[in-house]
Amino acid sequence: MTALVVAAVLAAPSFVFGREGGNIVPLRAQIYPGGRVVVNSQAGRHLTRAKVTALRRYAAAQGFTQLPRRIDCPATNPDVATRYVKVGAARTVFEHGACNRRFERVYAALRKATGVP
C-alpha cells in the first residue's frame, strides 16, 4: 500500500455510533483505528488498538454484517430516538426501538468502551 492509502485508511473511523431524532439530544461518537475517540466533535477517551480490534471482532461475532440496514421495532413510540452503528466504511444499521439483541449488544459494547452515557 502506498502511504496515501494507508493514511486514508487510518483517517477513517472504525466505528461511528449514536442517536438521532426523537426527544433527546443527538449523539455521534467515532472510534478510530488507532484508538482515538471523538464524541460530538470533542476528544474522548483513548482506546488501545487491541480494544478497537476486539470491538471489531465482537461486531463480527454478533453477525453485524447480516443485520438488516433498518430495524423498526414494533410498538415503538415515534418520539424515541433512532440509534445507529456503522462498522467500517460499508455497513450502517439503524434501529428504532430496542428489539434486536445483536444490535443491542454491539451498541452496548461501543458505549461501554467509550464511556458514552
* pLDDT tens per residue, range 15-43: 999 999 999 999 999 999 999 999 999 99
Report field, pTM of the whole predicted structure over 0.95: no
**What pLDDT does 11 receive?**
76
Sheet holding 42-46, edge to edge: 42-46, 36-39, 27-31, 15-20, 82-87, 91-96, 70-72
**What pLDDT does 106 receive?**
98
For residue 60, give its domain range: 13-114
At 111, which amino acid appears? R
7 is a domain residue:
no
**What pLDDT does 34 receive?**
97
Average pLDDT over residues 87-108: 96
5 is a domain residue:
no
**For the chain, how many structural domains are there in total?**
1
59 is a domain residue:
yes
CB count in 10 Å sphere of residue 24: 11
81 is a domain residue:
yes
94 is a domain residue:
yes
61 is a domain residue:
yes
User: Of the candidates 101, 3, 18, 14, which has an alpha carbon nearest to the alpha carbon of residue 61?
Assistant: 101
91 is a domain residue:
yes
Query: Length of the chain in residues, anyone?
Result: 117
Q: Is the pLDDT of residue 73 over 60?
A: yes
**What pLDDT does 2 receive?**
56
1 is a domain residue:
no
DSSP structure class, residue 66: G
SS (H, E, C) 40-57: CCEEEEECCHHHHHHHHH
